[in-house]
Chain A
Amino acid sequence: MSFSTFRFGDGNPQYDAQGRLRHLLNTEGLREPEMLQILDTAESFLSIAQRSVKKTPTLRGKTIVNLFFENSTRTRSTFELAAKRLSADVLNIAVSTSSASKGESLIDTVDNLMAMQVDGFVIRHPEAGAAHLIARHLGDSALVINAGDGQHAHPTQALLDVFTIRRLAGPIEDRVVAIVGDVLHSRVARSQIHALSILGCPEIRVIGPQTLVPKELSALGVHVYHDLQAGLRGVNVICALRLQKERMESHRLPSLDEFHRRFGLTPERLQWAQPDALVLHPGPMNRGVEIASEVADGHQAVILQQVAYGLAVRMAVLTLLAGAAGGGENHA
């Protein structure tokens, strides 16, 4: 499925009839109060990582399933750690070892796990809409978090990115943010754009070659640049994207070298942006392609902070959704 064609059907399955956030499927359609509550709650979880006991009893007795149909190191391990630090039990299921490879359908897999009385699913799937499908199937009976579906959405990555920007670059309401690279294949970029818009970012730019920037982005109020120097001028935050080498149809780019020559972030090109501009990257990085090692390891990069913040943000999301499952009024 291509970048922009997936739409979830009627209504917004993230919220229940009482307006409580029950699933996190996308930053699109997420309301500002819930987004702020996630970010504020994550602030509280940050300090827990500094303690001698890095756990809270919040999700004691709950079972969370990490259901990953695609490879992931960072996302899967931070979700696992987030659930464990909340005292939940975690079941990790990777596609290569599961019955999905024996032809069991996604819904059958979920139903079998539900028969084991689990409380939530963190799902990554190559098909756009997989998490929505499960959320619609389960309704209120378990929480569902989308950990990346095809080229559609990756909401917790976007939330940890806006959390990083808010903490390290200052108020999002007066920052200029540029997303650079392979926007076309990026579920991260789309989720970032929605999250930044909801939080009132005054100027969101997208920079990349014409073949890797979808035209319909201007409709979202995003400023599109095909020239890195022009696009970086005055920018406070640069979100680099991973070049999706494995998803790349060969005709979209002459070569990786060519991409690096035109859009790779190097120390010299960083100077086109604001002097203190932050550099984010969702990982894993292709060093020497979208980002030079000197930038990735430089003082403006906050890539490892993003990982630490991602843990706190995922703890906040799990807490909020699990709390709503008990009838909590987390929409206040």
Chain B
Amino acid sequence: MNADWDVTTLLEGMVRDLRPHVDPEQTAMIGIFTGGVWIAQALHRALGLKTALGQLDISFYRDDFSQIGLHPQVRASDIPFAVDGRSIVLVDDVLYTGRTIRAAMNEIFDYGRPANILLAVLVDRGGHEVPVAADIAALRLNAAAGGQIKLRGPDPLRLELLTSPRTAS
């Protein structure tokens, strides 16, 4: 399958799935740079969350830092709310190996102890290497290893498929 997915439609699905899990007065949201922040900005707006959006750059937490070094453009992580006791929706664009999410959770816990974290992604493409699963995914694929799915943006948001994965369900 090689369709052009409509990101707007996928985002609407995510908002629908997330709504029962969020309390706009209490729930906080964190996007992972870069694509995850774009998705989080859209979800944050659509869900009307009152707490300012958090942004994470996980460069300093990567498990492959000693192999590949520092990302050339590190942005500052910014969590503009108290993490302790907070319900957090963690947002990324594509879930693949799960290592980014592991790093992101390590970083979040260095800010405090959240009550719970929900993982919401635009695409879960399979190929997980650590036990991380998305609670909410607009699209679940079983993409071939080595294939690439990339979110381009920020305006407009476009999901690009660089090889042809099979749709899992």
In angstroms, how far is the closest chain B Cβ from the Cβ of A189? 30
Contact yes or no, A46 B69, CB < 8 A: no
A: number of interface residues (CB 8 Å):
30
Q: Within 8 Å of chain B (Cβ to Cβ): is A273? A: no
Contact yes or no, A46 B76, CB < 8 A: yes
Q: Within 8 Å of chain A (Cβ to Cβ): is B87? A: no
Q: Within 8 Å of chain B (Cβ to Cβ): is A329? A: yes
Q: Within 8 Å of chain A (Cβ to Cβ): is B70? A: yes
Identify which of residues 85-136 in chain B touch chain A, using a CB-to-CB cut-off of 8 Å: 106-107, 109-112
Stretch with Cβ within 8 A of B (4 or more), from A37-45, A97-105, A264-272, A291-299: A37-45
Q: Within 8 Å of chain B (Cβ to Cβ): is A210? A: no
Contact yes or no, A326 B69, CB < 8 A: yes
Instruction: Write out the residue numbers on chain A whose beta carbons fall within 8 Å of the beta carbon of B69.
Output: 320, 323-330
Identify which of residues 48-68 in chain B touch chain A, using a CB-to-CB cut-off of 8 Å: 57, 59-61, 65-68
Q: Within 8 Å of chain B (Cβ to Cβ): is A55? A: yes
Contact yes or no, B110 A320, CB < 8 A: no
Instruction: Write out the residue numbers on chain B whose beta carbons fall within 8 Å of the beta carbon of A57.
Output: 60-61, 106
Contact yes or no, A41 B112, CB < 8 A: no
List the A residue with the shortest CB-CB distance to B111. A51
The one of A44, A52, A320, A324 in contact with B75, judged by C-beta atoms closer than 8 angstroms, is A44
Contact yes or no, A40 B110, CB < 8 A: no
Instruction: Write out the residue numbers on chain A whose beta carbons fall within 8 Å of the beta carbon of B109.
Output: 53
Instruction: Write out the residue numbers on chain A whose beta carbons fall within 8 Å of the beta carbon of B148.
Output: none
List the A residue with the shortest CB-CB distance to B67. A326
In angstroms, how far is the closest chain B Cβ from the Cβ of A87? 10
Q: Within 8 Å of chain A (Cβ to Cβ): is B156? A: no
Contact yes or no, A320 B61, CB < 8 A: no
Alpha-carbon gap, A48 to B65, bound state (A): 18
Q: Within 8 Å of chain A (Cβ to Cβ): is B146? A: no
Given contacts A57-B61, A326-B66, A327-B68, contact A40 B73 (CB under 8 A): yes
Contact yes or no, B68 A326, CB < 8 A: yes
Given contacts A58-B60, A329-B69, contact A40 B74 (CB under 8 A): yes
Instruction: Write out the residue numbers on chain A whose beta carbons fall within 8 Å of the beta carbon of B23.
Output: none
Given contacts A51-B110, A52-B112, A57-B106, contact A323 B78 (CB under 8 A): no
Q: Within 8 Å of chain A (Cβ to Cβ): is B41? A: no
Contact yes or no, A319 B77, CB < 8 A: no
Given contacts A323-B69, A326-B68, contact A56 B75 (CB under 8 A): no
Q: Within 8 Å of chain B (Cβ to Cβ): is A220? A: no
The one of A44, A53, A332 in contact with B111, judged by C-beta atoms closer than 8 angstroms, is A53
Instruction: Write out the residue numbers on chain A whose beta carbons fall within 8 Å of the beta carbon of B57.
Output: 44
Q: Within 8 Å of chain A (Cβ to Cβ): is B72? A: yes
Alpha-carbon gap, A257 to B75, bound state (A): 48
Identify which of residues 189-247 in chain A touch chain B, using a CB-to-CB cut-off of 8 Å: none
- Contact string, A290-332, partner B, CB cutoff 8 A, digits 1/0? 0000000000000000000000000000011011111111101
The one of B67, B78, B110 in contact with A56, judged by C-beta atoms closer than 8 angstroms, is B110
Contact yes or no, B112 A47, CB < 8 A: no
Instruction: Write out the residue numbers on chain B whose beta carbons fall within 8 Å of the beta carbon of A40.
Output: 73-74
Instruction: Write out the residue numbers on chain A whose beta carbons fall within 8 Å of the beta carbon of B73.
Output: 40
Contact yes or no, A43 B76, CB < 8 A: yes
The one of B66, B70, B111 in contact with A320, judged by C-beta atoms closer than 8 angstroms, is B70
List the B residue with the shortest CB-CB distance to A62. B66
Alpha-carbon gap, A56 to B111, bound state (A): 11
In angstroms, how far is the closest chain A Cβ from the Cβ of B107? 8
The 10 closest A-B pairs by CB, nearest first: A328-B69, A323-B69, A332-B72, A53-B110, A56-B60, A323-B70, A326-B66, A44-B76, A58-B60, A44-B74
* 19 other A-B residue contacts (CB within 8 Å) besides A325-B69, A326-B67, A330-B72: A37-B72, A43-B76, A47-B76, A48-B77, A51-B111, A52-B111, A55-B110, A56-B110, A57-B61, A58-B60, A58-B61, A58-B65, A319-B70, A323-B65, A323-B70, A324-B69, A328-B70, A330-B70, A332-B72
Give residues in B with beta carbon < 8 Å to A: 57, 59-61, 65-70, 72-78, 106-107, 109-112
Query: What are 23 A-to-B residue pairs whose CB atoms are below 8 Å?
Result: A37-B70, A37-B72, A44-B59, A44-B60, A44-B75, A44-B77, A46-B76, A47-B78, A48-B60, A51-B111, A52-B111, A56-B107, A57-B60, A58-B60, A86-B60, A323-B68, A323-B69, A324-B69, A325-B69, A328-B65, A328-B67, A328-B69, A332-B72
